[in-house]
Amino acid sequence: MLLIPGPVEVPFSVANAGSYVVNHRSREFREIMEENQLLLNKFSGAYKTVMVTGSGTLAVETMVFSLIKENERVLSISYGDFGERLIESISRRTKNTQFIKYDMLDMQSLLNEIRNRDYDKLFLVHNETSNGTAIRDISEIIKIVHGKGARLLVDDVSGFGGYSMGMEGIYAMVTGSQKNIAAIPGIGIIFLSREACDDIENTESVNAPFYLDLKTSLRFLDKNETAYTPATGAFKSMNMALKILDREGFLNRVNRIEASSQFIRDKLTENGVRIFGNKDIYSNTVVCFYNNDSEMIKKLLNAGISVSKGMGSISGNTLRIGTMGLINNFYIGKFLNTYFKLSGVNKTVSLDEIPEATRLPAFLIDDVNLA
């Protein structure tokens, strides 16, 4: 059972679609592309959605290299390893930068910083995979950025689909296929506002590597094609996953994911486990907690559960579990009961006490491995 912060467990139908091979210039593939974009636009509120074969990091770098113009002042925020990675990408694109770095996210300090600095574009990670924290409410940041006449660009690789947040007030945002969409890895997704699309169209050159040039990708997207040979199986897999998400309901998935992470944190806390962060910045999609057993990852893996250690400065004494995609009451019960047993905690969690909101929709039960 994959409980790492991505890739996640996927339905059998979604996994099987990953072997799909077809001419990527055919009508059949164009129909998949069109349907994918329509559904992604529906869920996000984007004006257009570009899909590229690659990881979430590729989506981030496509956003960075295509949407920073020469002489623009850029401010970027980090409160974990993926924020650091975003800063590194921006540093390779432009030197006209300012950075704000936190060991642990402090929202009041962050809001004060972005009020008092001058910039044209603000980049931030919405949901920090490395330590299970997040900017839970981005609305005040949007107000500040718009008040300055600036634009907000968001790395939401591990957040999209785990929060009700959409593209309103956001210039550009990215995610990946292998997180809350619950498809196989292989597609980076770039959500674009109308303003971003207009700017791309009216910009002569962005000095971006050819593969990262959104102007080229948008030209092909108008034909429901990718600019370059895609991983056709990953696109078909995501098509299946998006249809499942549509049937479940976007907000229903968000609620299931949030209820799951909250219950896991509550049960860990009740039994003496300390969670990284605090309730104001907890992530919906990653639970990061302190652990002193250096063999725990191996022990859990021997029990059929794959989790991850924390990243960066907390890597030596924390574990992370992903509460993404298909997280459900069966996965929650198996993880908690196994972890408590391995930790010597005399506690058993029954399925009856796990909130109903964590359950998968009935139509999906037979398509998912719950063993």
The structural domain count of the chain equals 2
Whether residue 190 is found in the same domain as residue 60: yes
Provide the token pair at 328: 């459900």
Domain boundary among 247, 268, 294: 247
* Domain annotation covers residue 4: no
Whether residue 231 is found in the same domain as residue 280: no
Rounded-to-integer distance, Cα 285 and Cα 301, Å: 21
Global pTM value: 0.97
pLDDT for the residue numbered 203: 84
3-state secondary structure of 236: helix
Whether residue 227 is found in the same domain as residue 289: no
Whether residue 240 is found in the same domain as residue 94: yes
160: CATH: 3.40.640.10
Whether residue 172 is found in the same domain as residue 282: no
Whether residue 40 is found in the same domain as residue 131: yes
- Cis link prior to 7 (omega < 30° from 0)? yes
Whether residue 191 is found in the same domain as residue 274: no
* Domain annotation covers residue 1: no
Whether residue 255 is found in the same domain as residue 243: no
Whether residue 219 is found in the same domain as residue 278: no
Q: Compute CA 356 distance to the chain's CA centroid, rounded to the nearest angstrom.
A: 24
pLDDT over 90, % of the chain: 97
* Domain annotation covers residue 56: yes
Inter-residue contact 201 to 207 (CB < 8 Å): no
pLDDT at position 81 over 90: yes
Domain boundary among 189, 221, 247: 247
Whether residue 22 is found in the same domain as residue 147: yes
Instruction: Give per-residue pLDDT as tens, 11-23.
Output: 999 999 999 999 9
* Domain annotation covers residue 349: yes
Residue 196 CB partners (closer than 8 Å, separation 6+): 47, 67, 151, 171, 172
Whether residue 215 is found in the same domain as residue 347: no
Mean pLDDT of 257-274: 98
* Domain annotation covers residue 5: no
Q: What is the strand order of the sheet 151-155 is part of?
A: 48-53, 187-192, 172-176, 151-155, 121-125, 74-78, 97-101
* Domain annotation covers residue 289: yes
Rounded-to-integer distance, Cα 4 and Cα 321, Å: 5
3-state secondary structure of 96: coil
Mean pLDDT of 179-183: 98
Alpha helices in the chain (DSSP H): 12-16, 27-44, 56-67, 81-93, 107-116, 139-147, 194-202, 214-221, 232-248, 250-270, 296-302, 329-343
Domain boundary among 216, 247, 278: 247
Rounded-to-integer distance, Cα 28 and Cα 266, Å: 47
Q: Which residues pair with 288 in a beta bridge?
A: 320
In this prediction, residue 153 has a pLDDT band, given cuts at 50, 70 and 90, of very high
260: CATH: 3.90.1150.10
Q: Compute CA 305 distance to the chain's CA centroid, rounded to the nearest angstrom.
A: 21
What residue numbers bound the domain in which 339 lies?
249-367
Provide the token pair at 32: 């998949």
